[in-house]
Chain A
Amino acid sequence: MTEHLSTLRVKQLAVSALPEDEAMAAVVHTAECPSCHERFVEELRRQRGSTPFSFTLEPEFWFRDNHVDFDLLVELADKTLDEEMEEIVNIHLKTCERCREDVRSFLASREATAREMDISYVRPDDPATHAGAAPWWQRLQSRPVYAIAAIVLLAVAVLIGVFALNKSSGPLEASKQDQTNSVTERGPNISPSPAPDVASSPSSAVDSAKVTILNDGGGEVTIEKNGRVTGLDEVSENSRQYIARAALSEQIELAEVLRRLSGGQSGLRGNDGGPQGFRLLYPIRRVVTEDRPVLRWQSLPGVLSYRVYVLDADGNQVGQSEELPPTQRLWKTPRLRRGQTFSWVVTAMVNGKKVVSPSASAPEIKFAVLSTADFQELTRLKKSNSHLALGVFYARAGLLNEAEREFESLSKLNPESELPRKLLQSMRSMKKGN
């Protein structure tokens, strides 16, 4: 027989505070040693104190801690629980107010969002280009073959570089000169016709005083007095020229499309009489990037049904919803022609009367769909991660909220610089005016 257990050991065994192997050794000993067993039993009793033994077999008690988690909520909502499990869940729900509320809230949320499931939110983004995507060197880690290829290419490039340097150390100055000349010869005005008349390519040293250097999402961007923009190599020449113009004038001009979106009269709407009206919520006098936008409107008390109409700039109906139930306050349009302006109207049936929003006396609610060219340009610009380029683009395209967001981010990245702040201010006053 092994040594007797110390008092500490006995206490530790009683509260299960011994490591597994030591607990096992202690149990083996107590099985053979009546006196240590007696001390162990005494210790268990001492710890228990005077509390009498009592227990319950009420299922409410046994399942009181089995709270309803997300998976169970989904199964409840999907009605995929079997009978027995449902009974167990209901036993818990009988006594757990919080879980009851969880279930009620979850089912209500399911019902409220049921009609949203068919709405498509297709983004123009390339999946790999969002800001959260890993940089290229991190992506190489998951593709070892590419990583090895990159290392080999890098090594070859270094070897060639070293070889070339050794061979031609003499004409280094001449080579530099050549490079400068060739760049200068490219000339300043190669942009397509709609672009502003600002030089965006390198020019002579006389005009190249820097207007500003900005930290941008994709790196450092320099704008020179002559309109040359560097650091945005992947941005089109056209966009670079718009950027230069905004930077040099330090302000944003109102997009032409927004002038077209101010109100007018439509031939479809009813009169102002009848029950109280309701508001259309989105889109209102704005440009949308998607060609199947989701239209939203306010609810109207006592409504029986809604119907939505979309008209083109000539007042021709290009879309009409079916009769929508009172709970549905959004509708996805059919595909709309890009680059066009549209207006929309919602009619609501209340007590047998038709309520039209906007009312006859109110201006038309218009929106425009981003043109195909601009949509493609936006997709390219998003890859640059440049707040400046995106801000200027959005402003030019009439997407004011988005432009404001980009200039805001640019200002945060450049707290000491005047230009982003001025562009943001200009953007905000334009929004106000609009």
Chain B
Amino acid sequence: MDNVLAPYLNASDEEERQQHLHELLTLRAAPLIRNVLLRRLGFYVSAQGVNENNQDAEDLYQEAMTQVVQELSQLQSSTGTDIGNFELYVSRVAANRCADFLRAKSPARTRLKYSLRDLLKRHKDLTSWKHEGELLCGFATWRNTGKSPFSDQSYEDIEAKMDSFKSLHFADEDVRLAPLSQLLVELFDWILGPVEIDVLVRMVASLLDIKDQQIESLDDLALTRWDRYFAANTQSSPSHLEANELLARLWQAVIQLRAEQRDSFALGFKDEAGQDLFSILLGAEIVSWDELALGMGRSVEEVVRLRLRMPMDSAGVADALESSRENVHKWRFRAIRRLKTELKG
């Protein structure tokens, strides 16, 4: 058993055990899970497990944490399996969650969803609309009404009904040859009420026999490729001294940028280890909290608050700067170009 688990397993009472569990989760498991989500999926989650712009990221983080807690509880009741390396175990849990997510995500269905949303948007007789937090679709005359009870069935039940639909509406023709808009019209006519876009996607995918190929291995390949790319294109320094010099130059160049470029770059920055810029600068003693605040043109309170959410994804930066993601992308793009020139010298 990994020694880091000993205080938790040997706690003398429940209160002490909960204290150690809390420490294991916040100090060891959470940073690892965040890092795996970031590296595997590009999902940013704050240290509190929050990303208001990405529900999937929050869900995956919580699922991984829950699985770790369950395993630790079983260890404590001696029904669990031995954990020789806690950090490795947590990383595997998070990586498996990412793989499950990618499997369920289904690129082919996502593409079909994009096509259907576009068709619904452009065809004058069809439409989609938000209703109670869900994206519904149907005939334009149904706009802003609630979904039909049809949507309440399980996906399996709905898919099972597709054969019946096909025999009723496409008995004498190949449904795959029918125009997509005609297929939607026949489906809406059959359902007789609005449905969630994801239900529509399921139905159309089933009718058109759209399936995904295995994607797990592809994702692993992509990760390895990025690791290689990163290794070939990074600016790194073998010694601690050189690393600090490189970091100090980077910081000096960053604070010379225009405010929005500086923020778009700094708030989203992560190094190869996945650490945010403020933590790296503080850890390397390049800056104090006051200097950090001064360089970022903010108060210490604001800097502390921002660091809790760093590194941020584009949506997070856009929220923090009260701007659009598109603007953040542009500011970041300009910042990178400028920094490249500055650091070359």
- Complex alpha-carbon distance, A294 and B313, angstroms: 47
A330 interface residue per 8 A CB criterion? yes
Contact A44-B279, Cβ < 8 Å, known A15-B26, A132-B146, A405-B168: yes
Asked if residues B178 and A296 are in contact (CB atoms below 8 Å), the reply is yes
A54, B236: Cβ atoms closer than 8 Å: yes
A23 at the interface (CB under 8 A from B): yes
Query: Are B235 and A16 in contact, CB atoms less than 8 angstroms apart?
Result: no
Is B110 close to A, CB under 8 A? yes
Q: How far is the CB of B78 from chain A (nearest CB, A)?
A: 27
| A281 contacts across to B, CB distance below 8 A | 172-173, 177-178
A-B contact pairs, 24 of them (CB 8 A): A15-B27, A17-B48, A24-B301, A53-B243, A54-B237, A55-B234, A55-B250, A56-B235, A57-B339, A64-B42, A65-B42, A88-B333, A109-B180, A113-B122, A121-B139, A122-B125, A130-B148, A132-B145, A132-B146, A132-B193, A134-B145, A294-B182, A330-B182, A401-B168
The contact of A44 among B185, B236, B282, B343, by CB within 8 Å, is B282
Determine whether the beta carbon of A16 is less than 8 Å from that of B307. yes
Partner of B288, one of A14, A31, A120: A31
Counting from the closest, the 10 A-B pairs by CB-CB distance are: A132-B193, A65-B42, A132-B148, A54-B236, A44-B283, A16-B47, A127-B141, A109-B115, A17-B26, A131-B192
A85 close to B (CB within 8 Å): yes
CB distance from A406 to the nearest CB of B (A): 10
Q: Identify which of B194, B283, B308 contacts A45 (C-beta below 8 A).
A: B283
Residues of the A chain whose Cβ atoms lie less than 8 Å from the Cβ of B333 = 59, 62-63, 84, 87-88
Contact B269 A16 (CB under 8 A): no
Give the Cβ gap from A415 to chain B, nearest Cβ, in Å: 15
Given contacts A15-B30, A53-B284, A132-B149, contact A121 B229 (CB under 8 A): no
Q: CB < 8 Å: which of B190, B226, B269, B283 contacts A64?
A: B226
Complex Cα–Cα for A62 and B107 (A): 23
A84 to B148 CA separation, bound complex (whole angstroms): 43
List B contacts of A131 (CB < 8 A). Answer: 148-150, 191-193
Among A30, A52, A120, the one with the most B-chain Cβ atoms within 10 Å of its Cβ is A52
A56 adjacent to B115 (CB under 8 Å): no
Whole-angstrom distance between the alpha carbons of A117 and B181 in the complex? 8
Which among B61-69, B89-97, B270-278 touches the partner chain?
A: B270-278
- Chain A residues within CB distance 8 Å of chain B: 8, 11-12, 14-17, 20, 23-24, 27-28, 30-31, 40-41, 44-45, 47-49, 51-67, 70, 73-74, 77, 84-85, 87-88, 95, 97-98, 101-102, 105-106, 109-110, 112-113, 116-117, 119-123, 125, 127, 130-134, 281-282, 284, 294, 296, 298-299, 329-330, 401-402, 404-405, 408, 431
Q: Which residues of B contact A (CB under 8 A)?
A: 23, 26-27, 30-31, 42, 46-48, 107, 110-111, 113-115, 117-119, 121-126, 138-139, 141-142, 145-150, 164, 168-169, 171-173, 177-182, 185, 189-194, 222, 226, 229-230, 233-238, 240, 243-244, 246-247, 250, 268-269, 271-273, 275, 279-280, 282-285, 288-290, 300-301, 304-305, 307-308, 310, 313-314, 326, 329-330, 332-333, 336-337, 339-340, 343
Q: A131-B149, A282-B173 are in contact. List 17 more A-B contacts (CB 8 A).
A: A15-B26, A16-B46, A24-B305, A27-B304, A53-B243, A54-B236, A55-B234, A55-B235, A88-B329, A109-B115, A120-B125, A121-B126, A125-B139, A133-B146, A294-B182, A296-B179, A401-B168
In whole Å, how far is B293's beta carbon from the nearest beta carbon of chain A?
10
Contact of B114 among A15, A17, A106 (CB under 8 A): A106
Contact partner, B177, options A23, A294, A298, Cβ 8 Å:
A298
Would you give the shortest CB distance from A343 to chain B, in whole angstroms? 16
Query: Are A58 and B330 touching (Cβ within 8 A)?
Result: no
Chain B residues lying within 8 Å of A132, measured Cβ to Cβ, are 138, 142, 145-150, 191-194
A55-B271, A63-B329, A88-B329 known; A102 and B114 CB under 8 Å? Answer: yes
Q: Which residues of B contact A85 (CB under 8 A)?
A: 326, 329-330
With contacts A65-B42, A131-B193, A296-B178 known, is A14 near B279, CB below 8 A? yes
Shortest C-beta distance, B172 to chain A (Å), equals 6
> In the complex, which residues of chain A have a beta carbon less than 8 angstroms from the beta carbon of B304?
20, 23-24, 27
A123 proximity list for chain B (CB < 8 A): 125, 139, 141, 189
Residues on A with C-beta less than 8 A from B275 are 48
If A131-B192, A282-B173, A296-B179 touch, whether A57 touches B340 (CB-CB below 8 Å) is yes
Q: Residue on B with the closest CB to A112? A: B180
